Amino acid sequence: MGARTKARKRALDVLFEAEQRRLDPMTVLADRIAQPGTEAALPQYSVEIVEGVQTHRPRIDEVIATHSHGWTIERMPAVDRELLRIGAWEILFNDDVPDAVAVDEAVELARDLSTDESPGFVNGLLGRLVDLKPTLLA
């Protein structure tokens, strides 16, 4: 598993934990950052993901809600919801990650961590965002 893949997984852990515990993700992130040199410490890219998702969360959620036909954000499995947020942030707001990589990484994490239907759902929705990226950023 590559360093960025691990960082995405760790960012997912922070976002998922925050949602499950009904905490602000930035609070959970601060707790992880405060534990350097421990297993709980986060790679820098994990920090960037969590901060990026939180900074752009209203727009990310709007885009996900608009293009996830038949699914509200609240109805999605929590893991899928957070993976979609991470993938959408990488596609729309992080030029350092090729769009195809962002989609593939999210799909692989969905395959490992979510339902049998999740990889297809995540792939379809993030693929739609890639196709619509020019209009979504306009």
* pLDDT bracket for residue 138 (50, 70, 90): confident
pLDDT at 84 > cutoff 90: yes
Q: What is the pLDDT of residue 57?
A: 97
Express each pLDDT in 23-32 by its tens digit. Answer: 999 999 998 8
How many CA atoms within 13 Å lie on the side-chain side of 4? 14
Confidence of residue 38 (pLDDT cuts 50, 70, 90): low
**Percent of the chain beyond pLDDT 70?**
95
Q: In the chain, what are the domains?
A: 3-136 (1.10.940.10)
Pair 91, 133: CB distance under 8 Å? yes
